[in-house]
Chain A
Amino acid sequence: MKIQRSKGTRDLSPQDMVSFRLIESAFRECCQKWGYQEVKTPTLEYLHLFTATGTLTPSMLSKVYSFLDWDGWSGERVVLRPDGTIPISRLYIDSMAKEKLAKLFYVANIFMFETTGKKSRERWQCGAELIGARPPLADIELVTLALEVLRELKIEGIELRVSHAGLIKALLARLGLSAEEQTRMFDQILDGDMKALDKLKLKRPELEKTIGSLLELKGKPSGFSQELKELFSEELPECKPYIDNCTKIAEFLEAMGCDYQIDIASGRGFEYYTGVIFQIFKGEEKIGGGGRYDALIPSMGGRDVPASGFALYLERLMALIKPKALAEPQPPRILVRADGGKIREGFDIANRLHKAGYRAECYLGAQRDADFDWTVDIKDKPKLTLTDRAKKQKVTAQTVDELLSLLRK
């Protein structure tokens, strides 16, 4: 019978896992340097965590893997985690709510259905969440951390696109829509559907010029026309704090020499965003993103605490890094070959070599000499023969200590 991989999933091969672990360790190290602590949350969560207003958009919810598990007689559905931030918020409320500041990071898989099955339905993320700190400092720290990880991974040519959920909501409120329509429109913008907005603008032509041009605002604050700046302070005063917030972050990015633009309509992502939204691009590909979600934890029943976070998309980074340029030098690899009666000795020698810091394994009948730096043959006389594969040199030794001192030379 043919064994098939489930549609929409991928295997990570040994080569893939080398890249995976390189990214994971670079991410973990950077997070730890900034004082973040690692957590893991369960793969299964209750669906209701994700269904409340202000969590996931209905279009995202229509793609979650939800089902009734063995305990599901109450109708309580569980999901395969479709997002990293909501479980972390749940964890914070469950067991860390007393802490004023929680800096947490995770490496986790998330599950989201994709119709064709050509793209992976299980995706990996490196995420960091900063709970209990306010803008713009906290947001700047997160952007700095994300950029530091990418620098460690030697990924260049990064561009940031900055938007603001509060600004989008304020502009939508100006269009004279009902609360429900505003939510729907906000969701559609977050889902990347700008056409919905075009239809709306036709209905309210007198607003088209102002709101339309603001939503299509792109570029750097220094490049914004004077008129636009006046518009914020005079005609749309409620938008001013949001644009100031974006500008602060923009100034910081400018100082860091980071390529960025303010792009209001790029605010793609999660319904839980309330403040600045940033997306990280390499060329046209989005490799990560994040934002501020001050209302999420209180809406889930936790206390009123500000929060923001980001995630880097691990599979996309895997395609961008050059593992050889990043890999730490590895200790020499040694193959230990023992004759029939010397098997125990072979394993003893491999153990001693491990303790001394080498990579060593016993011959199992299939390894190729070419994959090893050294080979050790165990015979009666001379007892141990050490071969340097590169230099094609052979030396002999009687004891393991002698062998180790030869290796050190």
Chain B
Amino acid sequence: MKTNNIKIALPKGRLLGETSALLQRVGWGLDGYHEQTRLYHIESKTLPHLSGRVFHEKDIPIQVAIGNYDLGICGSDWIEELLAKYPSSALMKVKNLRYGEGTLYAASAAGKATVESLRARPGTIRIASEYPNLAESFAINAQLKHFSVFPLWGGAEVYPPESADLALVGGADDDFPFSLVPISRVLGVSAFLIANRDSWKAKGLDKMVAPIEKVLIPEKAVPKAEKRQPTKAVQHPAPEVDKDVVRLALPDGHQQTHTRKLLDRAGIRLDDYPSEKGTRRPSIDRDGVSVKVIRPQDMPLQVANDNFDLAITGRDWLTEHLCQFPSSPVKELANLKLGRVKVVAVVSQNMDIADIRDLSESERALPIRVASEYINIADRYARDNRLNRYRLIPTWGATEAFLPEDADLLIENTETGRTLAQHNLKIIDTLFESTACLIGSARRVTSPLKKERMESIIQTLRMATEEI
């Protein structure tokens, strides 16, 4: 029985506290993994063959399925999201850890829909979600006739009713945190221990994980979830859109600061942006403009689908979108010149190559693992450079910590290159330079008033960037 080198993928974020406490109780010696940790790699103090690595929760099922990690702990929502599309993957659900509990719902704006009314409604049902595979399964099982799933990086709760008919969002049964109404329960969620099926057998992991059972918090008496089914049939007309209103999307996250500065310089005033409470609908001092705050990653797809007219995002995300969908109507309307980064190809310092050609010409027994948040840019880059053969690993942040163990090549953005250097990485190619930009659609605007309002915003922002 081989027991050497067992690797476990551990979550940061919402599950970190309870996972750390569980691991303390089971005595695996992963003491470096705690709320204040800034480490990515953790060696066990008691089990010499065990090491851990901290990931975004969403990365963990993928890392375990492809065999980079033997064990992992993450929410069952991300496990089911992977299994919904890849049922034959090497991912194994080992144990329900009974914390981090919640429910994933399909939800609509208040009083707007039931599953039945959606099924009967003509036209396309738009479903926005961070869980596109579960959203597709839901739509198929609900037998929705014609649906489109919009994969999101986040903020699904702000989409209905204008930008989507349904959102798949998480919440507790008694406390649904959004101004939406759950119309169907999609999945009960809790933290799970998962394993790679091949490692499970080859490394005899069953013995190692057996003690976990004894240190689990006792099972709660789970109250039977009441079905939230409105009794009356609800008509569900497609949401009406005021054809004269300009729908503007502003970025959340770290792009908010420079976006706000730019808007200030342009004399466009907003209330509550960036919002301390996380409100995603700030008000604006211009007539006929409505604003929503969404992820910059999601903007090109939303603009392409006419859910927004204008959006402030990065050229990196516009490029990512156009790499996936060359026929998309989205285009750059103005270079906003802020948030300058380079999108680069990165390998470990230890790898003996000077440029990308060395990598495509190197003789390798295993596929080159290309990790990136920009999965379509990475795919095109790998194709254009004839990497033979390669696998793409989608990531959700902190990609620099993937090298050298969990990937061979990264496509990553960098401002100064300092973080990359700290991680013992080297840049072997620069793909392009990215700044914030204003995007819109090539689609013709039919309302003259709206066109005028849009032009005014575009011009104001262009003028404000001239001084930069």
Contact = CB atoms under 8 A, between A and B. Distances in A.
B148 interface: yes
B327 A70 contact: yes
B328 interface: yes
Contacts of A222: none
B126 interface: yes
A70 to B, nearest CB: 6
B305 A116 contact: no
B326 interface: yes
Contacts of B147: 48, 51, 75
Contact of B141 (A58, A74, A117): A58
A70 B145 CA distance: 23
Given A61-B140, A74-B304, A68 B145 contact: no
Given A53-B119, A76-B148, A116-B88, A71 B140 contact: no
B143 A74 contact: no
Contact of B126 (A70, A75, A117): A75
B73 to A, nearest CB: 26
B70 to A, nearest CB: 22
Contact of A71 (B88, B327, B330): B327
Interface string B295-316: 0000001001100000000000
A1 interface: yes
Given A51-B143, A70-B326, A62 B137 contact: yes
A48 B145 CA distance: 7
Contact of B88 (A66, A75, A117): A117
A115 interface: yes
B140 A51 contact: yes
Contacts of B119: 53
Contacts of B304: 73-74
B150 interface: yes
A1 B367 CA distance: 10
A75 B147 CA distance: 8
Contacts of B140: 51, 58, 61-62
26 contacts: A48-B145, A48-B146, A51-B139, A52-B143, A52-B146, A58-B140, A58-B141, A61-B140, A62-B137, A68-B325, A70-B324, A70-B325, A70-B327, A71-B327, A72-B324, A73-B304, A73-B325, A73-B327, A73-B329, A73-B330, A74-B305, A75-B126, A75-B147, A75-B149, A117-B88, A183-B143
Interface string A99-126: 0000000000000000111000000000
B144 interface: yes
Interface of B: 87-88, 119, 124, 126, 136-137, 139-141, 143-150, 301, 304-305, 321, 324-330, 388-389
A52 B142 CA distance: 10
B117 to A, nearest CB: 14
A115 B126 contact: no
Tell me what chain A mostly uses at the interface: helix, strand, loop, or mixed. Answer: loop
A93 B31 CA distance: 66
Interface of A: 1, 48, 51-53, 58, 61-62, 66, 68, 70-77, 115-117, 183
B389 A72 contact: no
Contact of A51 (B126, B144, B324): B144
A109 B285 CA distance: 59
B144 A73 contact: no
Contacts of A71: 325, 327
Nearest to A76: B148
7 A-B pairs closest in CB distance: A75-B148, A73-B325, A73-B328, A52-B145, A73-B304, A48-B146, A115-B88
Nearest to B116: A180
Contacts of A58: 140-141, 143
B334 to A, nearest CB: 21
A53 B327 contact: no
**In this complex, which of A58, A70, A71, A73 has the most chain B Cβ atoms within 10 angstroms of its Cβ?**
A73
Nearest to A7: B88
Contacts of B150: 75
Contacts of A77: 136, 149
Contacts of A76: 148
Nearest to A271: B143
A73 to B, nearest CB: 4
Given A51-B139, A51-B143, A52-B143, A68 B87 contact: no
With most chain B CB atoms within 10 A of its CB, the pick from A51, A53, A72, A75 is A75
Contacts of B328: 73
A361 B146 CA distance: 56
A1 B368 CA distance: 13
Contacts of A52: 143, 145-146
B272 to A, nearest CB: 31
Contacts of A66: 136
Nearest to B145: A52
A68 B328 CA distance: 13
A193 to B, nearest CB: 15
A183 B141 CA distance: 11
A53 B143 CA distance: 6
